[in-house]
Structure 1
Amino acid sequence: MRFLHTADWHLGRRLFGYDLYEEQRDAMRQLIEIAQEEKVDAVVVAGDLYDRQNPAEQAVAQLADFIQEINLELKLPLLMINGNHDSAVRLGVGNQWYQQTNFYLHTQLSQAFEPIEMENVQFFLLPYFELYEARQFFEDDQIRTLEQAITLVVEQMQKHFVAGKQHVLVAHFFAAGSQRSDSETTISVGGLDAVPINLLAPFDYVALGHVHNKDALQQKLVRYSGSLLKFSLSEAHQTKGVLIVDTDPQISVHFRPIKQLHEVQNIQGEFSDLTNNDYLRTHHVDQTAYTGIVLEDTNVISNASQYLRDKFPRFLMMSRAHGLATYTEKKITASQLQSPLKLLSDFYEDATQTTLSTAQKKVAENALKEADECDL
């Protein structure tokens, strides 16, 4: 059997205020093309279908379109769970009749112990859950950590293992030893944090969601597919895509990349260069990308963000590589001190590009003399 492993679609998400609807639609188009090219037997989605528990209508319609194309038009079995960003209640409405088209959406802990059997594989779909749900299901008030809960969950699942079949766990949590990205929500309330890898040993393959970097966990058969898109500047150098999993004769996995409609990038340089069309052209700078800029200048630049936004329509943010120099300390000798009148004359010339007239100097001298007398 061959299946496609994906997760963390986060439909409805925005990047620094930019709507990612078209980006997500294009990524899903590529996912569907990959599924057809690889001739997969099923599509597995390991949670976080939406970015919010109360998604916008546009995001709901978008998910419905994807499900219709994958499951009803291509007639591919679809196995899904909710993630921590999804509302289990909203997502689970109507799932009683989904199975008629081989669409399996598990949003309750109790459903995790009802394996989905396809060819030589048993899929156990473990939705994201809170610790109180585990305490209620197992009738055990002593469950205080995710490790305790997962230990009981795996033991219960093993009671349903069929000898001779391969066992795949689909789940949404943070596995111990993984590396986080800025765009992930940390799950740590009530001890619901990391799951030790050794607890997952009974499974032949573990299809995980939650972490957006496919390389966050260096385990051959416990894998994050990563998100389809780059959701933060910290993900700029990550390669996004999906995993193709073969189960026969033994588990093997290969990665298929997905190209983002508009890239996410960090660039560093001087303001004069990054606002110069010739420089941008000769250095092949992608001006269409979602761009974070690190300026090497230390001086104050008026309206710098606006000038950069004019050059980069998907400008995200600006920072300074070396900080901002607001003043320069300079020691001068007594002989270098200028008289108040000389300082005023120089300032006037800088501001107006003309020198003080004789009459103006006379007025200034009288004003300065009166000021000195007041000080006395």
Structure 2
Amino acid sequence: MRFLHTADWHIGKKLHGYDLLTEQRDAYEQIKAIALAQKVDAVVIAGDLYDRALPSEDAVSTLDAMLVDLNRRQHLPLLAISGNHDSAVRLGQGREWFESTDFYLNTTVAEGVKPVVLGDTQFFLLPYFEPFSVRQYFQDEQIKTVAEAMVRLVTAMQANFDPDKKHVLVAHFFAAGSQHSDSETLVQVGGLNAVPVDLLAPFDYVALGHLHRKEALQNEPVIKYSGSPLKFSTSEAADTKGVWIVDTDKTPVKVTFEPLKPLNDLVVLTDSFERLMDPEVAYPVTSDDFIAVNLTDTTPIANVMQRLKTRFPRIIELQRVNQLDVTPEKLNIEEVQRDPLTLLSDFFEQVADHPLTTQQAGWAKTTLQQAMKEEK
């Protein structure tokens, strides 16, 4: 059979305060178009469908519309699991009815050891888990780490293998040797949460979620992270996002990458303030793209964020490539003598990459007034 492997949709996620639902809907439409063009027999979503355990109403309605479209309108079987960003309990509500339309959504360890059979393939849908849930399932207090838990889980899955079928694991964890980006929520304590890839050898293909870059795991032809459909951090700016198309009727299975084109890209620009503000200097960006700026200037620039936003409205980060020269002879006396609240506002925006909120500005004003009273 042929299936599409995707993961880490993170519906409802914001990028430095910017809502991404428009970009997420566009990415979904591209994924659907690929699934239909490739005539896949199923779509696999390896966890983190939502960005939060308590998603907003807009996020819930958006994901619902996507899943209904794929499963009910396009008649594509769905195989999904909960990730660490999902609430397994909330996501799994109503799943008893889903299987009637070939929508398989696993949110518990017990479900993960039992295969879902489609065509020539057994799918083991293992949701994100903590060791204690596996300890409870096997009634074994000796299971302390994710790796120890996986040993027991894989053994239980193998006991359910049909030798005449291919075996695919769908899971959401950190595979040992993987490289993560800045946008993932990972807690690694001495490697205890990492799963050794040799434990995954019994499977013909392993469809992973959790890490947001498809290159996270190198030199593993049948163990793949799909990565997120969108770029969620500047560390992913140079990445090409997409999905995997997997053919299980080949030996070994055939895996092909299909790229996605960002509706609004995340781009890093490294240049001087003068060039960045020069309308004659062309950059490969649009006004709707998300921009991270690496500023090469070595002297302070007043109102730098506000001024840059007049040309690049969706700046999400501002970094200094070179050390600022703030020796006394370089300081602008007029700048130093400006209103303290204005200085604070400019300094905050340069450091935090966004302006003070109305509430924060109010706190600052109250504190300054109190300090001035104490001086008198």
Q: Does the TM-score normalized on the shorter chain lie above 0.5? A: yes
Q: What's the offset of the Cα at 1:285? A: 4.6
Per-residue Cα deviation, 1:89-115 (whole angstroms, up to 9, x for no partner): 000111011000000000011001220
In structure 1, the partner of 2:101 is 101
Q: Indicate if the aligned counterparts of 2:267 and 2:285 stay in contact, CA closer than 8 A.
A: no
CA distance in 1 between partners of 2:244 and 2:275 (Å): 40
Shift of 1:317: 1.5
Q: Tell me the distance in 2 between the aligned counterparts of 1:96 and 1:192.
A: 34
Which whole-Å CA distance do the structure 2 matches of 1:214 and 1:270 have between them? 33
Q: 1:258 aligns with which of 254, 257, 260?
A: 260
Q: 1:191 to 1:87 in 2, by over 3 A?
A: farther
Displacement, 1:190? 9.9
Partner of 2:281: 279
Aligned to 1:327: 327
| Alignment partners' CA distance in 2, 1:269 and 1:249 | 49
Residue 234 of structure 1 is matched in structure 2 by 235
Q: How does 1:177-216 map to 2 (within 5 A)?
A: 177-188=177-188, 193-216=193-216
1:217 maps to which residue?
217
Aligned residues of 1:131 and 1:190 also touching (Cα < 8 A)? no
Equivalent residues of 1:46, 1:82 under 8 A apart: yes
Cα displacement (A) at 1:187: 3.2
TM superposition shift of 1:288: 3.1
Q: CA deviation at 1:129?
A: 1.0
C-alpha displacement at 1:159, in angstroms?
A: 0.5
After TM superposition, the structure 1 stretch with the greater mean CA deviation from structure 2, 137-146 or 185-194, is 185-194
**Structure 1 stretch displaced more, 247-256 or 200-209:** 247-256
Matched, 1:8 2:45: no
CA distance in 2, matches of 1:192, 1:26: 37
Instruction: State the number of aligned residues.
Output: 331
| Aligned structure 1 segments of 4 or more residues deviating by more than 2 angstroms | 187-192, 283-288
Structure 2: runs of 5 or more not aligned: 338-376
Matched residue type, 1:19: D
Specify every segment of 5 or more residues in structure 1 that has no aligned partner in the other structure, as ranges.
331-346, 352-376
TM superposition shift of 1:276: 1.4
3-state SS in 1 of match to 2:280: helix
Letter in 2 for 1:59: A
Counterpart residue number, 1:299: 299
1:64 has 2:80 as partner = no
Q: 1:236 to 1:143 in 2, by over 3 A?
A: same
For 1:126-181, what per-residue CA distance to the aligned partner results, in whole angstroms no more than 9, with x for missing partners?
A: 01111111110000111111110000000000000001110000000000011010
CA distance in 1, matches of 2:158, 2:316: 48
Q: Are the equivalent residues in 2 in contact too, given 1:3–1:41 (CA < 8 A)? A: yes
When Rg is computed on C-alpha atoms for both structures, the one with the higher figure is: 1
User: How many Å separate the matches in 2 of 1:91 and 1:190?
Assistant: 31
Aligned mates of 1:143, 1:161 — CA distance in 2: 23
- TM norm structure 2: 0.85
1:139 is matched with: 139
Q: Percent identity?
A: 52
When normalised by structure 1's length, the TM-score is 0.85
Q: CA deviation at 1:196?
A: 0.1
Aligned amino acid, residue 271 of structure 1: F
Matched position secondary structure for 1:278 = coil
Q: Give SS of 1:259's match.
A: coil
Matched residue of 2:317: which SS? strand
Q: Any conservation in 2 of the 1:6–1:226 contact (CA below 8 Å)?
A: yes
